[in-house]
Chains A and B, each alone.
Chain A
Amino acid sequence: MSREDRVKTRTAALVGNPNSGKSALFNALTGARQKIANYAGVTVERKAGKLTLPNGEAVELLDLPGSYSFDAASPDEAVTRDVVKGTFEGEAVPDVLVLVLDAANLEQHLVFAQEVLELGRPTVVALNMVDLAERDGLTLDPAALSEALGVPVIPTVAVRRRGIAELNAAIAEAETHADEEAHTRWHLTLPERRLSAKHIAKAAILSKSTRHTIENGVDRILLNPWIGPIILFGLLFVIFQAVFAWATPFADALEGGVGIVSQAVTDTMAPGLVRDFLTEGVLAGVGSVVVFLPQIIILFAFILVMEASGYMARAAFLMDRLMAGVGLSGKSFIPLLSSFACAIPGIMATRSIADPKDRLTTILIAPLMTCSARLPVYAVIIAAVIPQSTVGPGVGLQGLVLFALYVAGIIGAMVVALVLRSTVTKGAASGFIMELPRYQLPRIKDLAIGLWQRAWVFLRRAGTIIFVATIALWVLLSFPKAGEGESQLDSSYAGAVADAIHPVLEPIGFNREMSLALVPAMAAREVAVSALATTYAVDAEDEDLAAEGVTAKIAALWSLPTALAFLAWFVFAPQCLSTIAVARRETNGWKWPIVMVAYLFALAWLAAGATYWIAVSLGL
């Protein structure tokens, strides 16, 4: 593209209140090809896509964060204000604004709409979700609204793709120049704007039946103080089942696929450093990334349906009281829920929390939610040292220990949140003010686009980090080369690191093999199992056989207090470089990731130590 072409590409931006159906409209206008990045210098997502106008002109369309007012109450709203006003460095002021209004919420949405229109930028109004307005018994007059606002008004139903062609045509015909006189023409105060919004809305509503909205009825059940939480926990149970049970065959298949490629490389290439680098470094890295993909896609699918249907805000409503107990709000619930699959999407999901201190606290405690990478470690150790006895009808001791480990993580997170909120993230108790959007049947295509985007962002962000970390660890583990009869892990740089940390870990009952296993497990926790296999020289090609071999060795060589201490360690320890890297990215610096790593290691050491000392003194 020449510079001249670049200058000619016009830009348009969607602006509107949250819950105005902006994202669905963005999907309808641009299709699946969207670019997701961050606005320069802030962790606010920038969504852009290409819009092709009827005359063939391509326009760059920006989906600005939903906003209630230019008087910004969150970083998202500040971005919207600055871009629309042309004061955001590095972003061109949009040539056309597409103002999205919820047809059923005109009186409220017209308040912000007037603020936008006062700028005098070329604007087209999309009167969105007219179908929901009809469902609520409202009949609207777009022509009257257009006359009152002085800009074209196009009725749309983004989720059903209605009115999209008309909107495209209106964008193409929009004025090419801003109204220079705008700032002298209107300037209303907030109460004036509200009053005029009321009048404009009244004039645009042709008829209004007194039909009851379905929200009241549905919310009476879903927000019921007794039934609501039961339904929510039932749903959470289903999600957990799905994430851990449904994903397994897909994860196994993906892992198998990587295994086949790895085997093919081993068969075709001559043994040596390059082959080892490919199989143990590159392919192992790819494997540890893709193995999480099925779980994350299933989890995201549930979260997207919950968000698009309007239920997510209700879940936050129901969880708010519990979260308030530790100084957080209902908005922290979703990021923490995601963290049970993996802390990386969880930390990325904290962007929906407007309050900076709330968000930081949530990021710092997210690694305490037991992510799925801990399961293989737990499974091997529990199988080795916890007897297969039952403690009650249908309750096995092994399952109980596993459950206790999950609970330990949750309680740990709550305690840490309390401590953080009264120390480093001290401040006024965070509030919980949010709009509960109306219920809507999500459209499959919008869900698919959302799912694809989130999976791609995960693969790109987490993937590159895990990948680099795995390769770096491979280097640490492979050099310097071991001599005849020596263990490679022992004589590598990683071995030297393990020797250095071992004196610190010895008092809490860790033997040298455990210290050794912790180093490669920094790439991904489940690697601890194969690392133990290597140190115990378990000779098995297959991972499952290796796990069996390790189980036998651990049962024979580790005392019960030592094994329990190892489990306690993994509940708290930040054994994951990717999480640390994502935390750095989301907090824009190293300060908070360092705080996170320091407190987690300290907690892990204390928890493992306490477990070990208590177990020993009990004579276990």
Chain B
Amino acid sequence: MTLDGFESGRSARITGVDWAALAEDEGKRLKALGVDEGAEVAIVHRGVFGTRDPLALRLGNMTIAIRRAHARAISVEAA
């Protein structure tokens, strides 16, 4: 399942990222931030009502904002 559909607040382990679905710079940025295979993340906030976009991830001690489109390229499993 993808991170976008994962329950908020629960820890998820990233099992893979579809880099081809992301722009080159976005992929680089995600990697640099540590959003990559093996990392444990949790969705802590979802954006404004309606589309619920973007979303905020917790990764270690960092909070990272990404769009749902990015979250759809990230496969996860419950950690």
Q: Give the B-binding residues of A (Cβ under 8 A).
A: 68-69, 71-74, 104-105, 107-108, 111-112, 136, 190-191, 194, 213, 215-216, 219-220, 223, 225-226, 228-229, 313, 316-318, 320-321, 324, 330, 354-355, 428-429, 431-436, 438
Contact = CB atoms under 8 A, between A and B. Distances in A.
A74 B49 contact: no
Which DSSP category, helix, strand, loop or mixed, fits chain B's interface?
Answer: mixed
Interface in B38-65: 38, 44-54, 56, 59-65
Nearest to A72: B28
A73 B51 CA distance: 27
B78 interface: no
Given A69-B32, A320-B54, A321-B53, A104 B61 contact: yes
A114 B52 CA distance: 37
Given A68-B32, A225-B49, A317-B56, A219 B63 contact: yes
Contacts of A428: 23
B56 A105 contact: no
Given A73-B25, A225-B46, 6 more contacts: A73-B28, A108-B59, A317-B45, A321-B47, A431-B22, A436-B64
B61 A317 contact: no
Question: Among the interface residues B25, B48, B53, B61, which one has the most CB atoms of the partner chain A within 10 A?
Answer: B61
Given A105-B61, A194-B34, A436-B63, A228 B70 contact: no
B33 interface: yes
B29 interface: yes
Nearest to B49: A225
B69 interface: yes
A349 to B, nearest CB: 19
A321 B56 contact: no
B67 interface: yes
A223 B31 CA distance: 25
B77 interface: no
B62 A216 contact: no
Contacts of B62: 105, 108, 435
A432 B67 contact: yes
B26 interface: yes
Given A105-B60, A111-B34, A225 B28 contact: no
B47 A69 contact: no
Interface of B: 22-23, 25-26, 28-34, 36, 38, 44-54, 56, 59-67, 69-70
A491 to B, nearest CB: 57
A613 to B, nearest CB: 38
B40 to A, nearest CB: 11
Contact of B64 (A73, A191, A225, A435): A435
A72 B29 CA distance: 8
Contact of B47 (A68, A317, A431, A433): A317
Question: Among the interface residues B38, B60, B66, B69, which one has the most CB atoms of the partner chain A within 10 A?
Answer: B60
A316 B59 CA distance: 19
Contact of B69 (A69, A108, A219, A431): A431
Given A433-B65, A436-B63, A229 B48 contact: yes
Given A71-B28, A225-B48, A435 B56 contact: no
Contacts of B67: 320, 324, 431-433
A69 B48 CA distance: 31
Q: Which 10 A-B pairs have the closest CB atoms?
A: A68-B32, A69-B32, A73-B28, A436-B63, A431-B26, A223-B45, A73-B25, A225-B49, A73-B29, A433-B29
A72 B32 CA distance: 9
A194 B63 CA distance: 18
A108 B60 contact: yes
A324 B53 contact: yes
A111 B35 CA distance: 13
Contacts of A216: 44
B53 A136 contact: no
A318 B52 CA distance: 10
A68 B59 CA distance: 15
Contacts of A226: 49
A107 B54 CA distance: 25
Question: Among the interface residues A73, A215, A317, A318, which one has the most CB atoms of the partner chain B within 10 A?
Answer: A73
Contact of B65 (A68, A108, A434): A434
Contacts of B36: 190-191, 194
